[in-house]
Structure 1
């Protein structure tokens, strides 16, 4: 029996026996979210009285006809003191059942998801290069206030894996769980900076499209998506279709109370030659996840896809052009119009553009953490938002174009060299390399080959590593000022 089906079978068996039970997300060593009402739920015999006790609170409810129950503890302050959470059920025959979860802390809880770059663990992974510096990092990985919950992996679990249970962060736990490296670095930074316990729930699946992580309601939320959940598609991972991972890898954790979400996904959608439709899917996924947890303003932070030579891969069903990755970069930036979202740049974190799994996950996790510290926790962090294109202006009779960015303060060249990867075009739509100069917080671009410029593209290259950065060294996001049609897939006759 496949592991995901086994998990569902065990939960169903407990329900049929009418045993007092909670989902696997509840367990020893877990972290409960501070400062928000905390959902606790499970099953017992129908019409039983269920009482939950924790931290001087006692909440009671009665199970429904199916034996389901849910209570919400009042908001709790952060606490690193280990305490017990106990649950009792009194049925109609006055039989009492009890559950106890030990070493429970209160702090910050985040849900991590996506495909293989979020899944990539701290250490070696079959078929991939190991994450940078993992051996040294494991020597200092013990961090009891950081608690990890690893969901099912994409592949069949190996003997000795620790899945579907909470563990204190340690070298052994990280190794046996194969826990997300980016997630680990994110959690360590939060513990260090906030001084409170942190719980991370990790549920990723390599090679999967965003549609697999969306509930049916997400597809109904936009006319451009309606019906797509019923259309089979070619999947990099066999058998994984729309809504399946939502059902199997997300809903088991709803409505466990948490602060927000980290998301690193999109490579599989690049392979499908997508453009702004990916932004539509992103908006729908964000809204549906927030709705499921009842947190309409929950922070949702996501990673820019890393540079990679998609157009040089010949074995995929679609032969992509060099525009395919920049097109999804454009879609990711477009999704930032959703409130309480943020995008961390990655164009400068890739040592090998022929490796779709970059090995520097330390800076990915740290950038997620600095973004959360500033935007979620109100810390005074320096320039955590990557510069984004804002406006284009052509002075009267000028052969130059002026670009503004937001945030604009402190823009500079990372290496002190002239700004790179700017292109300029006239009405003929032919782009030429451009000279780009910083003047008064603006970037002025020009080219002698384009006397009447109308459009600019920046870092519009699947291997881009531009040197325009903010004071914290975060690179500006790729963009284009035109809306000219893009060719994302090589025509079959040209292959």
Structure 2
């Protein structure tokens, strides 16, 4: 087990009603009494990071529980659907992660501890989750089916910060965002009122509300966390044709999810997430996704969620080698990019590239569109040193034409001879887009569609 350093530590459990309980850990002794329903909780003072194993005892009237080999460090929760759930290898119906054997063989990391939450739905908040803490070895990482993204994330934190890291994997493939969200946080967002005050087990827009939150998130409270990493959205995209839940309100649903988790854990948790990868949804899944623009619309919704404080997003348009595979194999780079977000934004590490170029504004000069970007790092470049790809331009008639795009210092200049008076530009606005615009640090530009005048 790893307990979060630098913040009060909750220790809780059950006993007979009124039973006195004494907890001892790291030189602290706290006493309490179980409530009428048998619950008890104590709050330890913040602990300093330590790789030296500690023992904790909790003693009641007739029994004494000892928990050994406790480390103090950084604890992160990983959640979402199958791309976060994906282990390094042997996931049914999926290809192995790139370099899986090498990553597994090197996974001798006694200061990284893993907790895999057993899948569970519940119509009401569950009292506990099933799972156990294990020390990271090649065998435990493989046998636990632990998230490859989460492990790589944790490994980079551990090696950079030189502190113990605890990772909690609470994931379930093929799930929408609504079941992961606390019901009261849906009610707090005006556009999501239809999800409020539903009866336990009742479905709204074809999805149960809060079933996974009740079964796999709520029972973790009040375990101390530093933050959350999240990779989800494919199932919302693929059900958008039948029910609301695609791009239209996905930003608001992320706001509800994040706000609800922060409220129940009692702190402003860092929240870093992955933008969905390119995939030929409307080709591979035509019954579920009818337009190649459905994914870019969800990309835009995910980008808009950056308005939520203390969040960050990883872009993956450069990490896909097979557009027909909804589970891209490069999970190592995803985990590393998430870790760089945490190292920079949460831990204050300097000199890390964490964002790719992001659309700032558009200016029209004659028949050319001049596009400026934020987060250019050392400058704009083409990944393959070839002409820029996936820029399109349109005039007042709304017809989109492929654009010739070139880099001029901090600006991209786009044009097409068929568009004499351009009014709008879009970039990577297609589910199969793997554009080559990036900054010199190697991070891809975010897909965008400029506002129309």
| 3-state SS in 2 of match to 1:320 | coil
Check the 8 A contact 2:356/2:376 in 1, yes or no: no
Distance in 2 between residues matched to 1:471 and 1:98, nearest whole Å: 58
Instruction: Select 1:404's aligned residue among 372, 376, 384.
Output: 372
Within a 5 Å distance, the mapping from 1:117-266 to structure 2 comes to 117-153=83-119, 164-228=131-195, 230=198, 232=203, 241-266=208-233
Within a 5 Å distance, the mapping from 1:46-445 to structure 2 comes to 46-89=17-60, 95-153=61-119, 164-228=131-195, 230=198, 232=203, 241-273=208-240, 274-296=246-268, 298-314=269-285, 316=287, 318-395=288-365, 398-409=366-377, 410-445=379-414
- Tell me: CA distance 1:315–1:430, structure 2 relative to 1, closer, same or farther (3 Å): closer
- Tell me: CA distance 1:456–1:154, structure 2 relative to 1, closer, same or farther (3 Å): farther
So what's the TM-score if we normalise by structure 2? 0.93
- Asked if 1:455 is matched to 2:424, the reply is yes
Distance in 2 between residues matched to 1:271 and 1:457, nearest whole Å: 23
| 3-state SS in 1 of match to 2:140 | helix
| 3-state SS in 2 of match to 1:437 | strand
Question: Aligned pair count?
Answer: 436
| 3-state SS in 1 of match to 2:422 | coil
State the 1:408 CA deviation.
2.7
State the 1:137 CA deviation.
1.8
Distance in 1 between residues matched to 2:253 and 2:137, nearest whole Å: 36
Instruction: Select 2:443's aligned residue among 457, 470, 474.
Output: 474
So what's the TM-score if we normalise by structure 1? 0.85
State the 1:319 CA deviation.
4.0
| 3-state SS in 2 of match to 1:394 | strand
State the 1:320 CA deviation.
2.0
| 3-state SS in 1 of match to 2:442 | coil
